[in-house]
């Protein structure tokens, strides 16, 4: 289906293959690198399938989503996005001011940087894109359409970057998504793309707030919004945690803590880290979940570009004559200009060496911005979970709070759950699948667990929604 040249393995000699290969090749199959289903040794219920992420320890991400830490300026993102000597162009979600840390940001940044590069480049120039995530693929499509010769270097053996669909029909009736996937009302263009690709979607809405004792009243985000608005009037930026405390709220109160956990699950940082001047987006009442493989979205964008998988770029040397890319295998390749989309976590770790060093403004922005953590766990059960609350502790048989059995967003209130935010996909799909999402320092702790420990932590977190042990 694709005419682009697929080059696998820097070790095989990227340059030789690059120059020699012009024949159509099959599209890459995404590597189903989700963990196999382990058998837990403990826990009240055994899932039939399990998959988890660990972006925090993934050397080509080193985190999940950029965030604006307290005290940082959102304009750092503009500084990071600034082209360097008309040779280096930077894209990726961290360079977007409007909605960093999202798929929409990646698309927007790819469009912006491709436009900047096109204006500087000569007709038919040979250019490179570093990274085959959504930003890199978006940019590559535009540059190819403009007649440039585009080579995309991707460190992994798969495309998609922080979008990762686990396609394994034996384990999952539809692909498990370990990275970005949920879309909101402002993501119309991406939703249209998915529609064109026949990717089924489901609307997720309705909350349940549940403690070990039963359902509790819904926790409103209004006080959080009010605390942010008040803090924004101050002369100095304050953290969301300090803003809440100043407003008389207790961020450790179980209901509020569960709400803050759901904010961390999309922002990637906790209330102590998050800025109120440049606040996180509060969780929307409804979002759209794609129920299909997201890789065709990226694959289609890469059509017409040469793709070199398993080719981590380790060095970028630039001067007025052009750019030389050092590939980890030891090869060095020259291009007129290069568009770089590696995640902020990689830039922070100096996983990519620049010669000369990036300008101070870029290095300042890299240091100033935060790389946040989000991890995901997917569980499929043979039996339905229990959307209805257990009897209340007073024993009168009546739950204090009416529960909507169709509610799809579950919050774990109180106790020591590591993962407090869960999506119940059963009402929308008929499958007993729940997805746990954890953000901030708890996500870092989750990423450090081995598969068995991660599964146990997930089951323990989900306990209020599981049948009581026999
Ligand atoms: C768990 C999780 C949940 C998320 N949930 C959502 C969500 O629900 N909705 C939403 O809108 N967004 C979500 N996001 C964020 C969204 O996935 C990202 O913002 C977006 O995918 C980033 O795209 P990108 O192209 O900027 O970066 P990436 O996808 O990270 O692409 C960069 C590419 O560069 C490659 N690379 C790294 N180093 C090198 C190197 N040295 N040489 C060559 N290549 C290199 C990487 O392998 C990667 O493929 C989530 C992210 C995570 C991790």
CATH number at residue 387: 3.90.660
The whole-number pLDDT of residue 467 equals 76
- Which residue's alpha carbon is at the smallest distance from atom 33 of ligand 1? 131
| Domain end marker among 370, 405, 426 | 370
342 contacts 162 by C-beta, under 8 angstroms:
no
What CATH number has the domain bearing residue 136?
3.50.50.60
Q: Are residues 210 and 282 in the same domain?
A: yes
* 18 is a domain residue: yes
pLDDT at residue 444, rounded to an integer: 97
Cα separation, 205 vs 408, in Å, equals 6
**Are 82 and 115 contained in the same domain?**
yes
- Are residues 287 and 307 part of one domain? no
- Cα separations (Å) of 292 from 143, 158, 199, 331? 28, 17, 5, 37
d(CA 31, CA 379): 20
Alpha carbon of 112 to ligand 1 centroid (Å): 17
Distance from C-alpha of 344 to C-alpha of 132, rounded to nearest angstrom: 15
Q: Is residue 104, in this structure, part of any structural domain at all? A: yes
Q: Do 282 and 400 have their domain in common?
A: yes
Report the C-alpha gap between 341 and 93 in whole angstroms: 8
Question: Are residue 343 and residue 437 in the same domain, yes or no?
Answer: no
| 157 and 198 co-located in one domain | no
> How many Cα atoms occupy the beta-carbon half-sphere of 450 within 13 Å?
3
Give the model's pLDDT for residue 43.
59
Domain boundary among 370, 399, 418: 370
Q: Does residue 171 belong to any structural domain of this protein? A: no
> Number of structural domains, the chain?
2
- Phi and psi for 258 in degrees, rounded to 5? -65, -40
> Quick one: pLDDT at residue 391?
54
Pocket test for ligand 1, best of 343, 371, 409 (most atoms within 8 A of CB): 343
- Provide the domain limits for residue 418: 182-292+373-465
H-helix or E-strand spanning residue 446? helix 441-447
Which is the closest atom of ligand 1 to the Cα of 437?
Answer: 1
Q: What is the structure's pLDDT at 39?
A: 46
Q: What DSSP state is assigned to residue 63?
A: S
Among 326, 348, 370, residue at a domain's last position: 370
Shared domain check, 225 and 92: no
Regarding the beta carbon of 436 and ligand 1, being less than 6 Å apart is answered no
Same domain membership, residue 225 and residue 314: no
250 part of a folded domain: yes
Nearest 5°: phi and psi at 431?
-105, 140
Residue 45 lies in a domain: no
Q: Are residues 77 and 89 in the same domain?
A: yes
Does 181 contact ligand 1 (Cβ within 6 A)?
yes
Conformational region of residue 85, where left means phi above 0, alpha means psi within -120 to 50, and beta covers everything else = left
- Same domain? 358 vs 213: no
Q: Is 341 exposed, middle or buried (0-12, 13-18, 19+ CB in 10 A)?
A: buried
- For every one of its 470 residues, what pLDDT tens digit does the chain have, with 9 covering 90 and above? 333 333 333 333 333 322 222 223 333 333 344 444 444 444 568 899 999 999 999 999 999 999 999 999 999 999 999 999 999 999 999 999 999 999 999 999 999 999 999 999 999 999 999 999 999 999 999 999 999 999 999 999 999 999 999 999 999 999 999 999 999 988 999 999 999 999 999 999 999 999 998 899 999 999 999 999 999 999 999 999 999 999 999 999 999 999 999 999 999 999 999 999 999 999 888 999 999 999 999 999 999 999 999 999 999 999 999 999 999 889 999 999 999 999 999 999 988 999 999 999 999 999 999 999 999 999 999 988 876 665 544 455 555 566 777 899 999 999 999 999 999 999 999 999 999 999 999 999 999 999 999 999 999 999 998 877 65
Residue found by looking up tokens 């999940």 in the block: 64
The reply to whether ligand 1 has any atom less than 6 angstroms from the CB of 180 is yes
Q: How far is the CA of 419 from the centre of ligand 1 (A)?
A: 22
- If asked whether residues 158 and 135 sit together in one domain, one would say yes
Which of these, 159, 168, 164, 166, lies nearest to 179 by C-alpha position?
A: 164
In a domain, 228, yes or no: yes
Is 296 close to ligand 1, i.e. is its CB under 6 Å away? no
Is residue 59 assigned to a domain? no
419 part of a folded domain: yes
Closest Cα to atom 20 of ligand 1:
103
Specify whether 131 is located in the same domain as 24: yes
């Amino acid at each position: 289906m694709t005419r682009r040249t697929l080059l696998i393995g820097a070790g095989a000699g990227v340059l030789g293959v690059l120059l020699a290969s012009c024949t159509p090749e099959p599209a890459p199959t995404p590597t189903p690198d989700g963990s196999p289903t382990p058998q837990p040794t403990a826990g009240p219920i055994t899932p039939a399938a399990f998959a988890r992420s660990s972006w925090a320890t993934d050397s080509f991400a080193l985190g999940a989503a950029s965030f604006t830490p307290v005290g940082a300026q959102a304009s750092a993102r503009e500084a990071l996005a600034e082209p360097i000597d008309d040779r280096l162009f930077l894209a990726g979600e961290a360079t977007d001011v409007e909605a960093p840390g999202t798929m929409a940001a990646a698309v927007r940044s790819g469009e912006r940087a491709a436009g900047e590069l096109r204006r500087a480049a000569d007709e038919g120039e040979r250019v490179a894109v570093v990274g085959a995530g959504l930003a890199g693929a978006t940019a590559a499509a535009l540059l190819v359409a403009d007649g440039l010769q585009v080579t995309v270097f991707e460190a992994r053996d798969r495309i998609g970057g922080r979008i990762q669909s686990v396609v394994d029909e034996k384990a999952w009736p539809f692909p498990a998504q370990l990275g970005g996937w949920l879309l909101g009302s402002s993501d119309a263009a991406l939703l249209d793309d998915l529609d064109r690709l026949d990717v089924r979607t489901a609307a997720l809405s309705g909350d349940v707030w549940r403690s070990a004792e039963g359902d509790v009243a819904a926790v409103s985000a209004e006080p959080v919004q009010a605390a942010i608005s008040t803090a924004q009037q101050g002369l100095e930026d304050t953290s969301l945690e300090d803003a809440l405390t100043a407003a008389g709220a207790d961020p450790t109160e179980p209901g509020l803590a569960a709400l803050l956990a759901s904010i961390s699950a999309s922002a990637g940082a906790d209330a102590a880290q998050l800025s109120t001047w440049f606040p996180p987006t509060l969780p929307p009442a409804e979002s759209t979940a794609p129920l299909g493989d997201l890789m065709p979205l990226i694959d289609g964008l890469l059509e017409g570009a040469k793709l070199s998988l398993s080719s981590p770029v380790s060095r970028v040397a630039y001067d007025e004559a052009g750019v030389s890319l050092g590939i980890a295998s030891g090869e060095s390749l020259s291009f007129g200009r290069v568009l770089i989309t590696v995640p902020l976590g990689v830039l922070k770790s100096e996983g990519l060496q620049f010669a000369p060093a990036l300008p101070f403004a870029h290095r300042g922005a890299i240091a100033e911005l935060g790389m946040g953590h989000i991890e995901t766990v997917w569980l499929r059960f043979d039996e339905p979970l229990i959307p209805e609350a257990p009897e209340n502790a007073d024993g009168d048989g009546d739950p204090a709070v009416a529960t909507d059995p169709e509610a799809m967003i579950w919050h774990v209130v109180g106790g020591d759950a590591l993962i407090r935010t869960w999506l119940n996909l059963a009402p929308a799909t008929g499958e007993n699948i729940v997805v746990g999402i954890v953000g901030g320092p708890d996500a870092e702790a989750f990423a450090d667990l081995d598969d068995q420990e991660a599964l146990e932590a997930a089951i323990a977190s989900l306990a209020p929604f599981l049948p009581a042990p026999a």
